[in-house]
Amino acid sequence: MSTATFPGSPISGAGLGLRRALLGPLEQADLSPLGFMEVAPENWVGVGGVRGRKFRQWTERMPFVCHGLSLSLGAPEPLDETFLRRTRRFLDEHDIRIYSEHLSYCSEHGHLYDLMPIPFTEEAVDWVAGRIRQAQDLVGRRMAVENISYYASPSNELSELEFINAVLERADCDLLLDVNNIYVNSVNHRYDAMQFLQGLPAERVAYIHVAGHHNEAEDLIIDTHGADVIDPVWQLLDAAYARLGPVPTLLERDFNFPPIEQLLGEVAAINQFQAGHQSTPIRYAHAS
């Protein structure tokens, strides 16, 4: 199992998203590179029978985190309190170590089936920070919110970095740092990825996502989670470790899966990058 440690965190090392298509291949695989796994609660809350028992076997086998898909923190309608209470029971039942969501919205009195950017305004900061505080109360724990990839900005009263930092401060929540999203946005919106990384609050980083993407054009990248991680994103991850220490990091892969040995090879690459920063002074988020 992955051995990179991160003091103050309930998880460590390198992780992988548990997708249903991977359940079979992972059964016979060498899981020594894995320190934890991640699922979307929407895909497993209320699931019983054979699949529910199989999931329980996984959560008893290793630490898990949850990354939500549908909470819609920036939406205008009220939060789904029933869903949040069900999520709380699920998190407690499976000893989920961290609960995170996207800093976005995906509904407007109906699901939009995409993650939309919240306007970068002071009004939006106050709105979404209040909803994060409400969500944290309902799930009974701190949350982490993820910096998303986006392709249009509905308002630029604040920069993306200013918006994220203001939300984290006013909500008093943690950050799920997605280094691939930083890279994607840096190309699409023409900013320096390293400077952006340096501007985020180190003490709020709970864990990291790394993933692949699709180059639609020279100046347009689409965040797909369906390809291998490329060198510039690995370099950005290495820079994050240089600043933060070996933060627990999850490889996201949602489709177009390679052979399981190749996929776990990318997880092992995370281990190797982390190993190079074991002596880096640690900055870490609040423990759950």
Task: Express each pLDDT in 183-194 by its tens digit.
Answer: 999 998 899 999
Catalogue all structural domains in the chain, each as residue range(s) with its CATH number. Answer: 14-275 (3.20.20.150)
Residues 166, 125: contact at Cβ < 8 Å? yes
| Chain centre distance of CA 152 | 21
- Tell me: pLDDT of 111 over 80: no
Do 260 and 200 meet the contact criterion of CB atoms below 8 Å apart? Answer: no
What's the whole-model pTM score?
0.93
pLDDT digits (tens, 9 = 90+) for 207-266: 999 998 777 767 778 777 778 899 999 999 999 999 999 999 999 998 899 999 999 999
Rounded to 10°, the helix 160-171/122-139 angle is 40
Query: For position 108, what pLDDT does the model report?
Result: 56
Is residue 271 within 8 Å of 31, Cβ to Cβ?
no
pLDDT digits (tens, 9 = 90+) for 4-13: 666 678 999 9
